[in-house]
Amino acid sequence: MSEEQADTGPVEAWLAEVAAKSRQPLHVVREVLAQHRVRPQMAAPRPHRLLVTSVAFDGFRPAADSVAGEKGGEPFTFSWDLGPGLWCLASLGKNEAGKSSVLEIVLWCLRGRSGLQRDVRHWLRTVRVGFELDGEPLLVDIAVRAGSPQGHVVSTQSGTVLVDFDGLADFEEAMDAFMLERLGLEPLRTAQAAPGGPSEPPITGELSWPSYASALHVSRSGLGILLGNDARHGLPTRLLELFLGAPWASTKVEAAVALKIVRAQLSAARSRAVGDAEARKAQLEELSRRLKQAQDRLAALDGAGGTAADVQQLYTELAASTRVAVTAQDAVLAVRSTHNELEAQRRDLAAAVHTAEEASLARAFFHTLMPTVCPRCDAAVDRARWEREREGHCSLCASDLHEAHSSADEDESGAQTADLRQMLVEVQQAVDGAAAELAQAQQQASQAEAVREGATGRLQEALGSPGLRERREMELVVARLEGAVEERSGRFADLDASVDLAPLEGAGAVLAAAEKLAMDRRTQVLKKVLGDVEKDIVVMGRALGLEMLKEVKLGGNASLTVWKGGQKHSYGSLTEGEQLRLKIVTTIALLRHGYRSGVGRYPGLLFIDSPGAEEVDAGDLQHMLRDLVTLTEMVPELQVIVATARGAEVREIVSADNMRLAAEGQRLW
């Protein structure tokens, strides 16, 4: 480790080691782990305590000859108050006394998942199981209708309803969420290989509280498995880590699941890249074959090559003549617009000249008139007024006639009229020029249209020639195939090398390093404690009748190797009686270590169903029960509930207060 890493914490040191082992930058390591929810967890978890305090239920058991669905039957009730220590449900040799059903009812209320036989569940009407979780008194209160539970979990200390449920699935989900949160547990991520092979994404899922709770129950159905009742998804290993509070264990599992997913994605990406390359190669070969066939067919069409070239030339001529005709027509429109504007100006100027000349003639005419009456009031103009005009004053308004008819005004009016006449002449000349341009443009447009029509006619005539259509179509086929071949031989040729697998490969390297390094840390911790657990297993195993037991090796994967009678055995090769005893003593040994160290997360509750049914004689069974009593005395919070048909042997060990014993030939309920 470098000096820089020496001062960092254990999580930072682990991240740095992952980066070094995977050869990825530290920021990439952090991003990959965050993306795949792989969290470094090294703190020892806080232990929790679970204690069953009471169980009560009632219902109706149908008569042996009753018809399915018939109402009524024999009523039954059961109630039992419990506490810490060893407790026992027993009968005197009768196997159908209801012992296992009591255990399953309690387990149903604790884990939410029912292991009851269907008929027994349908007999029930009410179920009430009290338990303490870290000292808080809780009650599961259920009304059962047609085998379906409806009820709630309530804190009897505060009266608060903590969980409501209605139905089998809802009950399991509700207890799952409640117990995981209260016990500080997390769902166990799982990944299974897909049926389609390594390139298919793995089937992922989660094991939750019912899977954890399998460690609470030792029964015949799970004897072949050292811890719990299910070996799938590495559950025994996780339970071992749960007993011992192993740090880094969840990190190792999260990294392993994520690595399976990434490896499947990488395998699929590589398969797709290979498949795509092969598909492109096959496509190129097929296109080349089709191109060769098309070229051969084109070559077989003799004598049509010149015609085809002429047609192409005719297409070119038609396109060129069409552009010229359009340009000529645009020129006609532009010249016509100019001509129309000038013609409008000419008409306006002609009108203005005419108006000016009319005004000049009107003034001259009116100045020669002698008025006889006033044009406003019809008053007669007498001779005296006429005489005044001789003096230079108007006979009507008395104004100075010399000023009104000054020569300057007449000159100005005449000059304006002359200017208008000159402008009219100039505009007329422009109009004539525009008309000439228009005529020329129209002639050019007509000529261009004639050329275009000629090109159209020649093309239509050429297209009507025999064999040309077939060759033209074949030429197009060849051109398209040549383009496709060139495309796949050109820019598509580098696709195989351009498939970017680097991100997935980098993520896989990070996750593989994270799993390995977390596993190393987890294993180092377990090695320190497994030796003590192995010694306890040997001592208690000999006390339970395995006199030939010499040594055991408890693996970090929850495997057990046994040396007895001078031979080495695996746990799975032992007899059922030997498996039962070793499973019990292994569970007890792990419990003892957890309580000694104060880090085990196992909640301190154990159910043992029928421990005397598997080749265990009376003396060995009593030894086992005494050891359980000793263990519960050593750990006051521990509770063990045993169900057995060997009541005669058990009642010598377990006090009457801690035991429910069915009378001979009778049921517990």
Report, in angstroms and rounded to the nearest whole number, the Rg of the chain calculated over CA atoms.
55
- Amino acid present at 545: G
Determine the straight-line distance between the first and last CA of the chain, rounded to whole angstroms. 66
Domain ranges of the chain: 3-35, 305-466
Per-residue pLDDT at 667: 87
What is residue 4's predicted lDDT score, i.e. its pLDDT? 41
- Give the strand order in the sheet containing 549-554: 549-554, 560-564, 567-570
Q: What is the pLDDT of residue 396?
A: 66
Residue 146, pLDDT score: 92
DSSP helix/strand/coil, 91: coil
Residue ranges in 499-636 assigned as alpha helix (H): 502-543, 576-597, 618-634
What local confidence, expressed as pLDDT, does residue 155 receive? 95
Judge contact between 3 and 223, C-beta under 8 A: no
Cα 439–Cα 440–Cα 446 angle in degrees, nearest 5: 90
Enumerate residue ranges in the chain where pLDDT < 50: 1-7, 68-69, 304-305, 495-498
| pLDDT tens-place string over residues 445-468 | 899 889 888 888 887 777 766 566
Pinpoint the alpha helices (H) of 368-406.
Answer: 383-390, 401-404
pLDDT at 143: 97
Nearest to 405, CA basis, from 439, 368, 442: 368
